[in-house]
Structure 1
Amino acid sequence: MNTYHQGNLPRLLLVEDDMTSQGFFQFVLESLPAKVDIADSCASALRLAQAGTYDMWLLDVNLPDGNGANLLRILRERHPRTVALAHTADTSQEIQRTLQQAGFQETLVKPISRDALLKSVRRALAKSAVKADGEVAEAALDWDESAAMNALNGQQAHVRALRELFLSELPSTRDAVSHALEEHDDKTLHAQLHKLQASCGFVGASRLAYAVRQLNHDPASMQARQQFGSAVSALLR
């Protein structure tokens, strides 16, 4: 299932000098779907980065005029929050550690399968969204009175009654979500989060609704899990 709609596609910068690898990456990345700009050197990558912003950089480790780690350092001077993936044919653990220390979120080892590439890119985009929107999550209201009143046709008594029911069920829902995460039970997890998302909308639990969306999008994200736990705790205080 595609996460993004046409017209709101993630924009990716692919830096790769080998034409065959370049073609493979472009074909797969555009199937996300995504908008993909291509550079074959550090110099061309910097020109593209100066002309616009990207949701992600995918940087080859070895380039004709430099290396991926140095390129990332320069790019981050202007865009410190952009997520970056490295790709290389080097399978050594040393290069993996070096690239992680340089600031890459993940290193892709070539040749890489289509499914593995898509999984890594989607995971990175999701984590980037959680990180970039973290301030939004913290600023969201625990209880959004306007949203709840709109959902229940301005009936304050109904809002109070539904919130009481919501809060009585929230601990068991939280425990079910935690158990599903521990057991890697994606089917149960998404079912629980789907129901909780709807309930949040009815009672105006805006902060928790945001946290549910993030966790549903990337269950492996520790930040998304922490945001979910904090949002639940805030309502149960």
Structure 2
Amino acid sequence: MRLLVVEDHAPLSELLQQHLQRYGFVVDVAASGSAALELIAHTHYDAWILDLGLPDMDGMQLLQGIAARPPCIILSARDAITSRIAGLNAGADDYMLKPIDMQELEARLRAIWRRTAQQTAILNHGNLSFIPESLQALVGQQPLDLPRREAMLLEALLRSSPRAVIKDYLEDALYTNHEAVTPNAIEALVSRLRRKLKVAGATIRVDTIRGIGYRLVADV
């Protein structure tokens, strides 16, 4: 799940990013409304976290100005019931008061994730099953031990199968805008995933489509 945190208080935005990344989210940060608009214009986000007190515009203005916006949780010190009602009426999916509890925020994000049926459905291919909510993979009934990025790579391939997934899309989906991505980072992830699928006895494999990307196919 890729998130955008729109928060101008640097210590809080850093805390949010570090905590959520530990629990399997890919997190980008914007410190202003204009920076958020730039990121949203060029990146797909599954959800975003929005502070209302931004330096260049009111967060409510930003929320209302984005047409095809992802699900949004407002984080704000504005505790008046009128502010909460206004935020929800403006299109926010949830409203949390500062100071926030990180575990509660994570739970609310996962609740948003679960409300989308496509995200909660178990993905199956051959003898492999994948549970998106927990990023858990199983070959037969045996768990497949995958670090977060390898699990996210597998999910992207499963969702697109039998179509190929473009390499550039994988880089965008698996790494934040501020992470340095080496030229062979995706190749290394694919190599490790291939090896683990083979060792576990999976009946699928990852094929390379030269010049395009990768796809999952049945291993016959």
Match of 2:114 in 1: 126
Could you list the runs of 5+ residues in structure 2 that have no partner in the other structure? 127-220
> Which piece of structure 1 moves more, 23-32 or 44-53?
23-32
Q: Is the aligned partner of 1:25 residue 2:16?
A: yes
Contact 1:58 1:87 in 2 (8 A): yes
Output the TM-score relative to the length of structure 2.
Answer: 0.52
CA deviations 1:158-213 (Å, max 9, x no partner) are xxxxxxxxxxxxxxxxxxxxxxxxxxxxxxxxxxxxxxxxxxxxxxxxxxxxxxxx
Percent identity reads 29
Given the alignment, which residue of 49, 53, 61 partners 1:70? 61
How many angstroms apart in 2 are the aligned matches of 1:114 and 1:17? 18
Q: Is the aligned partner of 1:45 residue 2:36?
A: yes
How many angstroms apart in 1 are the aligned matches of 2:53 and 2:28? 18
CA deviations 1:75-129 (Å, max 9, x no partner) are 2x2x24x2111110122211111101011011111111121111111111222x2
How many angstroms apart in 2 are the aligned matches of 1:125 and 1:32? 14
One-letter code aligned to 1:39: A
Q: Secondary structure at the match of 2:29?
A: strand
Output the TM-score relative to the length of structure 1.
Answer: 0.48
Match of 1:87 in 2: 75
Report the CA distance between 1:31 and its aligned residue.
2.2
Contact 1:12 1:55 in 2 (8 A): yes
How many angstroms apart in 2 are the aligned matches of 1:125 and 1:70? 25
Decide which structure has the larger Cα Rg and report it.
Answer: 1
Moved over 3 A (4+): none
Contact 1:83 1:125 in 2 (8 A): no
Could you list the runs of 5+ residues in structure 1 that have no partner in the other structure? 1-9, 138-149, 151-237
Match of 1:15 in 2: 6
One-letter code aligned to 1:88: S
How many angstroms apart in 2 are the aligned matches of 1:117 and 1:44? 23
Q: Which has the higher strand share?
A: 2
Report the CA distance between 1:32 and its aligned residue.
2.3
How many angstroms apart in 1 are the aligned matches of 2:92 and 2:48? 10
Match of 1:57 in 2: 48
Q: Secondary structure at the match of 1:66?
A: coil
One-letter code aligned to 1:21: L
Q: Secondary structure at the match of 1:63?
A: coil
